[in-house]
């Protein structure tokens, strides 16, 4: 079987009015990355020769996201939004330059799996000219219906507004993705008219035109979950739910225990090692790696962080970008860590802010410790040496360095460096008055008895 070169056309020019958002629809995130980036990642996994993305004029943020997600894409502008066939023709130059398979996908349908698209391409290798992705939704309202003949060929796709009553009762709907291996494809699509209820140029008219010309269009089925097209916030939430269910299953298959999987939120790139245990209500933003055997206790928010093997985090910890939690280290309740390396075996068990710093191996950060990293202009670094002990309620005013094995007395405000193995204490001497309390009580009680 010869491998046909692949061009993927991603349609991203729609207005997305039902999202009621200042953000272009395809930039809304699912699992921590935009729908467009999801679609481009799946497209890239098929090894295409070219990916063409069709955008609306002025969508600078969409252009930037596309370029960022897949550096070698080609961008095309659809100046007016006159329908999906019109949108495909915006990439006419790419289509005409290409000899091989053309796959059209929508940027607002982010959950179609690479293996599904591969099945569409494979059926073309087997001799079909067009593959149409179909699915059976619980509620088919709004979708185009596939009209399939007795030989299993797609004769036409009828958009709901243009469908007859009997056609509306058909269960198999158009998911949107279509693959073509047709000579002069651009000419075929250019023959599509706009004599329909919406007055749009529908790509879904392609199979009927192809069938009339003796070409063969076939349906390929996928699950309703994969086919979710996002055109509202409700559909966005539905797509997120499907994404999360898949990600949780993957994490558990990989050897992580999720005590209450439905309460753990994962990102597209969350990496969980073997024997990681995640308690309920944990949110992972992008960029988190949790190594083997680490334990995340309940109610943590973690973004851009590496948690090394055997570490224990939470409950109620907040780990922000650049946090690196060493092997067997402990980060306890109400501790926030940002851009800081906590080395192996170090502990910050309660109520602390550790920002822009290092906590050396085996060091202890007492309850209430604050790394004062910001002076209103710059962020400064705090370096706590290996085995150091920072007493509770201390403020370490950066830039400052605490030497290996040094002690900081509780309640100190440390503004200058502390030598290794020294004690630094910054507080007024304790005023001790023996018997004062008893005298005070007597005085008060005598007054109460009074005349």
From 97, 301, 330, 350, active-site residue: 350
Q: Shortest gap between Cβ of 332 and ligand UD1 (angstroms)?
A: 46
**Least distance in angstroms from the C-beta of 168 to ligand UD1:** 13
Instruction: Quote the least distance from Cβ 198 to ligand UD1, whole Å.
Output: 8
Read off the tokens for 179.
């693959």
**Token representation of residue 154:** 């797609």
Which C-beta is closer to ligand UD1: that of 119 or that of 235? 235
Place of tokens 């790394």: 371
Judge whether 28 counts as a catalytic residue.
Answer: no
Q: What is the 3-state secondary structure (H, E, C) of the chain?
A: CCCCCEEEEEECCCCCHHHCCCCCHHHCEECCEEHHHHHHHHHHHCCCCEEEEEECCCCHHHHHHHHHHCCCCEEEECCCCCCHHHHHHHCHHHHHCCCCEEEEEECCCCCCCHHHHHHHHHHHHCCCCEEEEEECCCCCCCCCEEEECCCCCEEEEECHHHCCHHHHCCCCEEEEEEEECCCCHHHHHHCCCCCCCCCCCCHHHHHHHHHHCCCCEEEEECCCCCCCCCCCHHHHHHHHHHHHHHHHHHHHHCCCEECCHHHEECCCCCEECCCCEECCCEEECCCCEECCCCEECCCEEECCEEECCCCEECCCCEECCCEEECCCCEEEEEEEEEEEEECCCCEEEEEEEEEEEEECCCCEECCCCEEECECCCCECCEEECCCCEECCCCEEECCEEECCCCEECCCCEECCCECCCCEECCCCCCCCCCCHHHHHHHHHHHHHHCC
Q: Whose Cβ is closer to ligand UD1: residue 43's or residue 414's?
A: 43
Smallest gap from residue 381 Cβ to ligand UD1 (A): 46
What is the rounded distance in angstroms from the CA atom of residue 160 to the CA atom of residue 138?
15
| Cβ proximity to ligand UD1, 63 vs 301, nearer residue | 63
Give the binding site for ligand UD1 (CB under 6 A).
11-14, 54, 78, 81-84, 86-87, 106-108, 143-144, 157, 159, 173-176, 202-204, 229, 231
Q: Which of 24, 10, 35, 14 is nearest to 91 (CA)?
A: 10
Which residue lies nearer to ligand UD1 by CB, 192 or 354?
192
Q: How far apart are CA 282 and CA 264, in angstroms?
A: 5
Provide the minimum distance between the beta carbon of 178 and ligand UD1 in the complex, in angstroms, as a whole number.
9
Compare residues 163 and 422 and give the one whose CB is closer to ligand UD1. Answer: 163
Give whichever of 202 and 407 is closer to ligand UD1, judged by the CB atom: 202
Shortest Cβ distance from residue 25 to ligand UD1 (Å)?
7
159 vs 343, beta carbon nearer ligand UD1: 159
User: Nearest approach, Cβ of 88 to ligand UD1 (angstroms)?
Assistant: 9
CB of 180 vs ligand UD1, minimal distance in Å:
14
Closer residue to ligand UD1 (CB): 107 or 290: 107
**What are the structure tokens assigned to 362, written together?**
């085996």
Q: Tell me which residues are annotated as active site.
A: 350
């Amino acid at each position: 079987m010869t491998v046909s070169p692949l061009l993927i056309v991603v349609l991203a020019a729609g207005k997305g009015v039902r999202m009621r958002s200042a953000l272009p629809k395809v930039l809304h995130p699912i699992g921590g990355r935009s729908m467009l980036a999801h679609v481009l990642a799946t497209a890239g996994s098929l090894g295409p020769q070219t990916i063409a993305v069709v955008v609306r004029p002025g969508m600078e943020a969409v252009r930037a996201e596309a370029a960022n997600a897949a550096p070698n894409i080609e961008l095309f502008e659809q100046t007016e939004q006159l329908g999906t066939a019109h949108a495909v023709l915006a990439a006419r130059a790419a289509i005409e330059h290409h000899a091989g398979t053309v796959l059209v996908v929508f940027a607002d349908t982010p959950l179609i799996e690479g293996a599904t698209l591969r099945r569409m391409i494979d059926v073309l290798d087997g001799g079909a000219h067009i593959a149409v992705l179909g699915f059976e939704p619980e509620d088919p309202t709004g979708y185009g219906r596939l009209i399939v003949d007795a030989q299993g060929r797609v004769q036409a796709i009828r958009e709901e507004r243009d469908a007859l009553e009997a056609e509306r009762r058909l269960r198999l709907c158009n998911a949107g993705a279509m693959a073509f291996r047709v000579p002069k494809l651009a000419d075929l699509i250019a023959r599509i008219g706009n004599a329909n209820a919406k007055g749009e140029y529908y790509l879904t008219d392609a199979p009927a035109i192809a069938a009339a010309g003796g070409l063969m269009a076939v349906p390929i089925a996928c699950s309703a979950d994969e086919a979710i097209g996002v055109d509202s916030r409700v559909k966005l939430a539905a797509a997120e739910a499907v994404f999360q269910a898949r990600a949780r299953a993957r994490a558990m298959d990989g050897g992580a225990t999720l005590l209450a999987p439905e309460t753990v939120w994962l990102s597209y790139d969350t990496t969980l090692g073997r024997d990681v245990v995640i308690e309920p209500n944990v949110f992972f933003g992008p960029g988190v790696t949790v190594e083997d055997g680490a334990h995340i206790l309940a109610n943590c928010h973690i973004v851009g962080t590496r948690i090394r093997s055997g570490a224990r985090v939470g409950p109620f910890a907040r780990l922000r970008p650049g946090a690196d939690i060493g092997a067997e280290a402990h980060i306890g309740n109400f501790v926030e860590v940002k851009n800081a390396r906590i080395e192996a075996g170090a502990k910050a068990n309660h109520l602390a802010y550790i920002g822009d710093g290092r906590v050396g191996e085996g060091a202890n950060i007492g309850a209430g410790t604050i790394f004062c990293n910001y002076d209103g202009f710059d962020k400064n670094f705090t370096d706590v040496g290996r085995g150091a002990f920072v007493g509770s309620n201390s403020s370490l005013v950066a830039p400052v360095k605490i030497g290996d094995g040094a002690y900081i007395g509780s309640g100190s405000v440390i503004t200058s460096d502390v030598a290794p193995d020294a004690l630094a204490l910054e507080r007024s001497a304790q005023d001790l008055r023996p018997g004062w309390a008893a005298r005070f009580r007597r005085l008060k009680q005598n007054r109460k008895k009074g005349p």
